[in-house]
Structure 1
Amino acid sequence: MGRTAPGAPAVRMPGIGLRRRILLVFLVFSLALAVLAGRLVTIQVVRGEALRQKALDMRLWQVPVQARRGDIVDRNGRPLAISTDVDTVYVAPAELQEAARKGQVDIEEAAQQLARVLKMDPEEVYEKLTVPHAFWYVKRRVTDAESRAVRQLDIPGVHITQEARRFYPKGELAAHVLGFAGLDNQGLEGIEAYYDRKLAGKDGYIATEYDALGRPIRLPTVQARYVRPTPGLTLRLTIDETIQYIAERELERAVVQNGAKGGVIVVMDPKTGGILALASRPTYDPNRFADFPRQNWRIKPVADAFPPGSIFKIITGSAAVDAGKVTPDTIVDDPGFLTVGGESISNWNQAGLGSVPFRDGFAHSSNVVFGKMALALGKPVFYRYLDQFHIGRPTGIDLPGEATGIVPPMDQATLLDLAIMGFGQTLTTTPIQMAAAVAAVANDGLWQTPHLADAWLDPEGNVVEQVQPAERRQVIKPETARTIRELMRGVVEQGTGRRAQIPGYDVGGKTGTANKVEGGRVVQKYIGSFAGLVPVEEPRLAIVVSIDEPSGIYYGGYVAAPVFQAVARDVLRYLGVPPTREERADPRRLREVPNLMNLTRAEARERAQAAGFQVTVEGGGPRVVGQFPAPGAQLEQGSTIILYTEAASRQDEEGRVTVPDLTGLTYAQAAERLAAAGLQMEARGDRDGRVAGQDPPVGTRVPIGSKVTVILRGPESR
């Protein structure tokens, strides 16, 4: 049993090596099958959806459909920026080439036809029709007539889609607030850029399936895919269209009248921190932004920093009163100069006030008094108040490109630096920083982030998000703020800011005049400013005005305070703010203000006193080049007339100035314009008429003090 029969052939059993090889092959095949199965599961199950989408995307060619950009409206819902739908011509080159292969169209001829109706170069159109892409624009944002003409041509592969075009219905109004959007519906400047994501929405598209040869698949089961765009949200601003118009109107008038390089106005609601108006000159039309120099796009109220001059004394005064270093009645000695570290600081008029209450030093803008206040505070305390008022750091306003200004580092600042910073030199600030500081004083010491966005609305007009100031901080005590407001009232009633007075309202403010700094050097170019609030008891408005490089008289009290007065007066009426005081001038004491223009200081003083008035003189020039009130105004006997005796005319090295254009001005306007340029006037003709001619002519360079003959004619002779 179990033995092989004798003589039978032997049966060889597989060796162990062969069995191992068979097992190895089996294992390899099993592993390969497992890998293939795993790969199949990965492709079909794990990545199945993603791969199916990728395959679909390769077959689908998408034509973008722009989302409708959200509107921008003022605080009353009046539109400032809207989007309108316009047609755009595009080509699907593969579809066009397929039609050409079938003899349905000649591409060169199609290019000629499109070029004719779209007013384009035929070669440019041909290049666009033959690009190696699935989709290409031929011409964007065509007119209605061009769109109809393209449809009538009915060229295979050439189609029309809709895009949104940004339109600014008010033209230049609020240009620096709004900015503008580009061709691809993206915000490029202003608030359009700052809030681009929320305004832009999300684009949609139309997708069509094509085969491997680029031919559209036209089967009943294959349909074009349309993804609807999501429109952007509507932005409601704190800006008031009417207040913005008033600010821009008065700023434009001031820049022209003073022959200035430019200017800025910021109007804030101190209770909310909202910007009611933000104006800048020069300006531009956002509908045609490319037609204007790029520097016109610059948002000067937030991007330009300059030495604030005496308007900064509002901050120094607030710090000194809040820290208990001074009260309005504290006697401060002002001999006209202050020596610090071996260097002397003097007042703007080189004269001293003597020993006077702090309120008088504030009203008459004494550099010596405020230099002493900064020194009394000391560097740590002074810098702490700077930081609280956001001097040297951004305010956080919702506009791009905000500058921080420059403040010397505390560890490097000398006592001389500290004293000079006390009256607004050595450091730089932006108009928006100063406006926010004035608003804090107006709001009982509560500083708030200045902002332009008020609320976000959905397409139905429902509020989605109410915008609040990013920061609220008590920077000075409420009683300190009320004290500073009273001191500011004194500036307008008795000091350098009298041209800001508004009949019927209590006004508080501070004038400022500062040299510009170019290339790290102080130059003989000036910025005249006025910062104010009204009414003093319960302020509704905080306003900062700066006039850049006025060609004549450059003092802030002369060039900027009247702008504040005109803006605030009209805005108070528009808002329906009731008067806070009753003007009770005794008509028996009213006298006509004499014309003191072009007189010497002594002659002007003598003539004013003969008419029953006192005078105060600003500037160190020999002749009167400006006065307030203007000649002919009615003023109570014994009141003070402000005389301006220094012109900032752009003199050359030989002392020559340019003769201004006087055409169409009244006698008084021509006299003031010439005086501001440092020239005298000789009038001929009807003094109740307007200037019809002048000699020397406009643009002539003459020695300062020269006479210009003007010919005045009445309406009948003109």
Structure 2
Amino acid sequence: MTELKRNNNTANTGRRISFFIIVFLLLLTVVLGKLFSIQIINSYKYQLAAKKQYESKISLKPTRGLILDRKLNALISNVNSFSFAADPNMVDNKDSVAELFSRVFQKDKSYYLDKLNTNNTSFVWLERRVESTYEQQLQNLNLSGVIKLNESHRTYNYNELGTQVIGSTDIDNNGISGIEMECNDMLEGKEGYVVMQKDGLGRKRPAIEYPRLEPQNGNNVVLTLDMNVQKVVEEELKQGVTINDAEGGKCVVMSVKTGEVLGMNSVINNIEKGDVRPDLYKLAFLTDLYEPGSTFKVVSAAASLEEGLENKNDVIQTYGGEYQLYDNVSIKDSHKSSNMSFQQVIEQSSNIGMIQVAQKLGKERFYKYARDFGFGISTGIDLPGEMRGYLKKPVDFSAVSLGFMAIGYELMVTAIQMANAYSCIANDGLLMKPYVIKKEMAPDGTVIKEHHPTPIRNVVSKTTAKTLTELFVGAVEKGTGTEAKIENMKIAGKTGTSQKLIEGEYSKRSYTSSFIGYFPADDPQIVIAVIIDAPRSGEYYGGRVAAPIFRKIAERIIAITGVMDITHPEYDENNADIKLANNKLIENPDKDKINIIDFEISDAIRLLKENNIDYEIDGAKKNAIVTDQQIVYGDNSSIKKIKLSTKSITEQGNERLKQNAPVYMPEVKGMSVRKCIKMLSMMGIEYKINGFGRVTDQEPEAGAKLTKNQQVVINCISN
């Protein structure tokens, strides 16, 4: 019996041992399997996880390039400041870090905890560009996972001088306006990096076994601006706007022979110090559209001289100072003369006389010259946000359009377009492309890319330009622009005064006053355009408001910098760059003559086929308008192909409405319904069609000014 119990105990013990051995082996298998998974199968994953606990990659920011004026004065600099960031994976005590930053920066503790608890990242910003007082409180900061970084931000070296053109950057030093945005790729440089490791005390140190990639600093950008000229422009424009109690003003100063912009600015009146409204920094001289009034007479005057329709002594009927343009539309002059010479029409700025000139010219030729001067299309200036303006096609003209457009109404322009048109006359009829970026330079001063004067087209002959300059001199010497006269300096220029369109009606109390001139008239070097918006001091004529501002700017430019030396050698007519540009234009005189922007696509295709020119169309191919063209040249400088951008007629009409240009009812009687609908759609006019066939009646009549969203009624009858 005893022997039997002993055998049973031995058997039980053996089973227990076997069980424990089996369990042990199973556990060992699991452990070995896990180790195999960790060390072999998923080793890379766990290595990365381990590295995240003690390693992180920190970006090294490049130094942003400088922006310089033409004399290499730095307009903007980089200023260092401190920022604080953290690697959430390395912060041992997130609560204490959040508590410290909350106390120093007076923010909720939860604000920092949310940042520190961010998942799947090894870098979060805690505070950026901290003020020196805060930085001192955290000077001896030694918290695990918290990083103190040296960041740079931009500061203007001349305070607010030139800031509209220079532009600005966001907190990450990316350009968001002006040259900072236009040249961001040149200025920003390329980031580098360094790998940091956590030591035994939790401090971050560079890992010596990893390579360090140094950042590449940004390139410098040299502008055509002259800060002496810019200072004069900003001071005199601001003073002029204040004296005239105007809503605002714009000024552009350009080199006649090169198209370089020497200074430009816009002003809004009654701005409190510290105001940061976005419109204070916009490039209003490129973006704001206005009806120019009499300064636009340059188009009809130049065209009529070029076409041989007028000379300065021709007599033009002015109807005693009042002229019936249409049934209920009359034009008045301040002068009651029955007739004037062409020269007097320019000098005294006769609206009636210029309308007679334009009517003799005709709408097709008027439109051609207006486009050739650069209206209704972008100048191509190297700044962001330029508007094309608004110039209707002859097919869109109402019975009164030609007359009103001849004196600067029913169209919209920008200050840079007007300055460039007058610069064309001053430059013997050669239109130049305006530009602001002179060159791109490496940090060591090596020139990477240099921009040169670019001719666009010969608009009128040298003879026409010289004759018109003589007439503009007369306008200053004895006409409406006498306030622009400067002793011992011959000025050529033209005044402009236009009523502002307010809620669909032309105001009799709000005006745009302007003067555009150039000097010396015998050998023009500089053109200045001054536009004053809504002067309220009592005076509103361009000759009394804008001309004195022009004179003050011109006098100071002459006194400070001289004229011929201001941009030496670029202003030298014999400069190689200018001669090269002119030679290229002479060698290929027809290169810009084909201009089919605003053509209906069917007409554009027909014209191109007649001239055996290949084309590509990007956009709508039926019932469309050509909105842009790109000429592709062959090896021998002949036109190889033209790439056309198009928009549907309806879409184009809607865009025109958005520009808030005045809309007048066109003459559609006698048209087919199809042609009538196309015209109204192009103009953005809503309509109701009664019947079919040909138009027999319309409501309202041609020439009537249309209000926003007004629906016109078209009655038709079949033949």
| Residue aligned with 2:90, SS | helix
Contact 1:346 1:367 in 2 (8 A): yes
Task: Name segments (4+ residues, structure 1) moved above 6 Å.
Answer: 52-60, 215-220
| Equivalent residue letter for 1:477 | S
Q: Which residue of 2 aligns with 1:386?
A: 370
Q: Is the 8 A contact 1:66 1:162 kept in 2?
A: no
Question: Structure 2 vs 1, CA of residues 423 and 54 (structure 1 numbering), >3 Å: closer, same or farther?
Answer: farther
- Corresponding residue for 2:77? 82
Q: Distance in 1 between matches of 2:124 and 2:168?
A: 25
Residue 410 of structure 1 and its aligned partner are, at CA, apart by: 1.8
What per-residue deviation string (whole Å, max 9, x for no partner) do you get for residues 640-684 of structure 1?
Answer: xxxxxxxxxxxxxxxxxxxxxxxxxxxxxxxxxxxxxxxxxxxxx
Deviations 1:255-289 (A, max 9, x none): 1111111001111111110111101102899xx98
Matches within 5 A, 1:693-712: none
Aligned residue in 2 for 1:171: 159
- The letter of the residue matching 1:197 is D
Partner of 1:540: 525
Change in 2 beyond 3 A, CA 1:515/1:151: same
Distance 1:276 1:578 in 2: 13
Partner of 1:250 in structure 2?
Answer: 236
CA distance in 2, matches of 1:206, 1:353: 81
Relative to structure 2, which stretch is displaced further, 459-468 or 564-573?
459-468
Kindly indicate whether the alpha-carbon contact (under 8 Å) linking 1:312 and 1:423 is maintained by their aligned counterparts in 2: yes
Which residue number corresponds to residue 443 of structure 2? 459
Structure 2 residue aligned with 1:686: none
1:329: how far off?
Answer: 1.1
1:206 aligned onto 2:190: no
Seen in structure 2, the aligned counterparts of structure 1 residues 274 and 53 have a Cα distance that, compared at 3 Å, is: farther
Q: 1:380 to 1:53 in 2, by over 3 A?
A: farther
What CA deviation, in whole Å up to 9, does each residue of 1:392-415 have, x standing for no partner?
111111221111111222211134
* 1:437 pairs with one of 400, 421, 444: 421
CA distance in 1, matches of 2:49, 2:431: 55
Amino acid at match of 2:540: Y
- Residues 539, 471 of structure 1: CA spacing in aligned structure 2 closer, same or farther, 3 A cutoff? closer
Deviations 1:304-330 (A, max 9, x none): 111100011122211111121111111
1:94 partner SS: coil
How much has 1:130 moved relative to structure 2? 2.6
The DSSP-based 3-state class of the residue aligned with 1:159 is: strand
User: 143, 165, 168: which is aligned to 1:155?
Assistant: 143
1:107 maps to which residue? 94
- Provide the rounded CA distance (Å) in 2 between the counterparts of 1:408 and 1:563: 32
Contact 2:53–2:90 (Cα < 8 Å) also in 1 = no
Q: Displacement, 1:347?
A: 3.1
Instruction: Tell me which amino acid in the other structure corresponds to 2:244.
Output: N
Kindly report which structure 2 residues correspond to 1:591-606, keeping only aligned pairs within 5 A, or say none.
Answer: none
Whether contact under 8 Å (2:86, 2:125) holds in the other structure is yes
Q: Look up the match of 1:184.
A: 172
Q: Which of 274, 299, 303 lines up with 1:319 in the alignment?
A: 303
- Does structure 1 residue 72 correspond to structure 2 residue 58? no
Match for 1:278 among 257, 264, 274?
A: 264
Give 1:346's aligned residue: 331
Residues 76, 496 of structure 1: alpha-carbon distance in 2 compared, 3 angstrom cutoff: same
1:437-470, Cα deviation, whole Å (9 max, x unpaired): 0111111111111111111111122221111245
Whole-Å Cα distance in 2 between the matches of residues 542 and 472 of structure 1? 18
Which residue identity is paired with 2:78? Answer: S
Cα distance 1:528–1:537, how it changes in 2: closer, same or farther (>3 A)? Answer: same
Equivalents in 2 of 1:491, 1:378: separation in Å? 25
Structure 2 CA distance for partners of 1:54 and 1:485, relative to 1, 3 Å = farther
Give the number of the structure whose alpha-carbon radius of gyration is greater.
Answer: 1
Aligned CA RMSD, in angstroms, stands at 2.9
In 1: Cα distance, 2:184 partner to 2:145 partner: 33
Other-structure match for 1:420: 404
Residue 476 (structure 1) shift: 1.1
CA contact (8 A) 1:283 1:296 kept: no
For 1:127, the aligned partner's letter is: D
Q: Does 2:255 match 1:269? A: yes
Shift of 1:544: 0.6
Say whether 1:95 aligns with 2:110: no
1:337 aligns with 2:322: yes
Residue 477 of structure 2, aligned match among 482, 493, 504: 493
Identity of aligned residues (%): 31
User: CA offsets per residue over residues 196-236 of structure 1, 9 Å max, x none?
Assistant: 2112222222334799xxx999998x735432222221111
Q: Which residue of 2 aligns with 1:484?
A: 468
Contact 1:545/1:560 (<8 A) preserved: yes
> What secondary structure does 2:102 align onto?
helix
Kindly state the Cα deviation for residue 338 of structure 1 after the two structures are TM-superposed.
3.2
**CA displacement 1:361-380 (0-9 Å, x = unmatched):** 11000011111111111122
Classify the secondary structure of the residue corresponding to 1:487: helix
Verify: 1:402 aligned to 2:386, yes or no.
yes
Q: Is the 8 A contact 1:236 1:457 kept in 2?
A: yes
Which is further off, 276-285 or 351-360?
Answer: 276-285
Q: Which residue of 2 aligns with 1:636?
A: none
Deviation at 1:124, TM superposition (A): 1.9
Secondary structure, aligned partner of 2:75: strand
How far residue 250 of structure 1 moved from its aligned partner, in angstroms, is 0.8
Deviations 1:460-512 (A, max 9, x none): 22221111245532111111111111100000111010000001110111110
* Partner Cα distance (1:536, 1:184) in 2: 48
1:474 and 2:458 matched: yes
* Unpaired runs of at least 5, structure 2: 1-46, 566-719
Query: How far apart are the structure 2 equivalents of 1:470 and 1:114?
Result: 56
2:95 aligned counterpart, secondary structure: helix
Matched, 1:358 2:353: no
CA contact (8 A) 2:247 2:269 kept: no
Tell me if 1:300 matches 2:284: yes
Residue in 2 that maps onto 1:697? none
1:447 matched to which residue of 2?
431
Q: Where does the alignment leave 5 or more consecutive residues of structure 1 unmatched?
A: 1-51, 101-105, 580-718
Contact 1:208-1:223 at 8 Å conserved across structures: no
SS at match of 1:433: helix
The question of 1:227 aligning with 2:222 is answered: no
CA distance in 2, matches of 1:354, 1:196: 59
Q: TM-score, normalised on structure 1?
A: 0.67
In structure 1, distance between residues paired with 2:324 and 2:550: 35
Shift of the alpha carbon at 1:86? 2.1
Structure 2 letter corresponding to 1:508: A
Q: Which letter does structure 2 place at the counterpart of 1:240? A: D
Counterpart position of 2:103: 116
Cα distance in 1 between the residues matched to 2:75 and 2:266: 17
